[in-house]
Amino acid sequence: MLKHLLSDDLPRSRFLTVLLVLILFGLAFAPFITSGARPLNTAATICVYIVLVASYDLLLGYTGIVSFAHTMFFGIGAYGIGLGLASAGPFWWIAFSGLLCALLLTILLALIVGLFALRVRAIFYAMITLAVASSFAVLASQLSDLTGGEDGKTFSVPALLSPSFHLFENEVFGRIIDGKVITYYLVFGVALMLFLFLLRVVNSPFGRVLQAIRENEFRAEALGYQTIYYRIAANCLAALVAALAGALMALWLRYVGPKTMLGFEVMTDILLIVVIGGMGTMYGAVVGAALFMLAQNYLKTLMLQASSALVGVPFLAEALHPDRWMLWLGVMFVVSVYCFPAGIVGKLRST
């Protein structure tokens, strides 16, 4: 049953299996094993980024396509559901209508970008997608009447997902089951299904062709595969999943804005997580997203505690000052790439 659920793509490493199980159970029971808004927000962000990074891994790790337009599709999904709820009210049919419009726009743009750009090679395609994504971000910032400009827009969600909604009068395992917890499990459940779907895709005959294109496109063409069609299909599929991830993020935050949804920082985070976790593994998205988001949210706090404990050692206390957390995050990234050139999952699977 487990092999079928994982599309016969088992972790193939005892330590990796334990790590994945810990992440799964940690995310599944996050509302009950943590308290406060920050840990739950971190868990929800990990769920969203697992899907977002896995969809990008379909392009980069399995097909060999370097694209900088992934945040554009992420933002389209977020703005589709966010602007719909902000303009027409917190109704389910509005949310689904906005999501449907976002997905249609996503598939159209992905198809257009694919048709015109995927015929060129490597760096040229990357530059084209970067230009398209940058143009879309500028457009979202300038259409302030529609999108809220740089400030973005906040919106209300359907009553079931509102923090004021209580499913039960009494606590369950010490936690009130309110709309925020329900929203979290919506994000977690959809993210889990999307990840398992992508795992099925990369282990299907379609996925095998994508890997053949990555390894040697000319040989794949010689075997009779129309590689341009497979590359376009992979681009459209990855874009749709990224848009769904954006919709989940918007529902969780109840806010859409260009910096949060369309900023280049989001794209760099995706690239870092893919490299840290391991390209072409899918499981790398899970491990990389969990480790990166935990470091991003808690490294500064840990450094503050360490700096306070080492107050008698001026050099170390200064070096570990929390204002330098970005420096140490970069050092951790360099060390991880040096120690795990194939990513954490790639290293664990090879041992």
Instruction: Give the DSSP per-residue string, 41-59.
Output: HHHHHHHHHHHHHHHHHHH
Q: Residue 273: which residues within 8 A CB-CB, separation 6 or more?
A: 49, 53, 285, 288, 289, 292
- Residue-level pLDDT at 210: 92
Sequence-ordered alpha helix ranges (H) in the chain: 2-5, 14-28, 30-33, 37-63, 70-88, 92-117, 122-142, 144-147, 179-202, 205-215, 217-222, 227-253, 258-262, 264-277, 283-309, 314-319, 325-339, 343-350
On whether the CB atoms of residues 319 and 336 are closer than 8 A, the answer is: no
Q: What is the pLDDT of residues 305-315, one digit of tens each?
A: 888 887 777 77
How far is residue 29's CA from residue 43's CA, in Å, rounded to a whole number?
Answer: 10
On whether the CB atoms of residues 228 and 119 are closer than 8 A, the answer is: yes
For each of the domains in the chain, give its residue range(s) and CATH number, in order of start. 2-350 (1.10.3470)
3-state secondary structure of 92: helix
Handedness of CA 287, 292, 293, 295 (dihedral sign): positive
Q: Residue 60: which residues within 8 A CB-CB, separation 6 or more?
A: 66, 67, 274, 279
Cα 31 to Cα 20, 159, 289, 330, distances in angstroms = 19, 20, 19, 30
| Cα angle for residues 239, 240, 244 (degrees, 5° grid) | 115
**pLDDT < 50: residue spans in the chain:** none
How far is residue 234's CA from residue 328's CA, in Å, rounded to a whole number?
Answer: 35
- Residue-level pLDDT at 118: 66
- Residue-level pLDDT at 192: 96
How far is residue 56's CA from residue 195's CA, in Å, rounded to a whole number?
Answer: 12
Closest CA to 327 of 305, 308, 299, 306: 299
Phi-psi region of 75 (alpha: psi -120 to 50; beta: other; left: phi over 0): alpha
pTM reported for the whole predicted model: 0.94
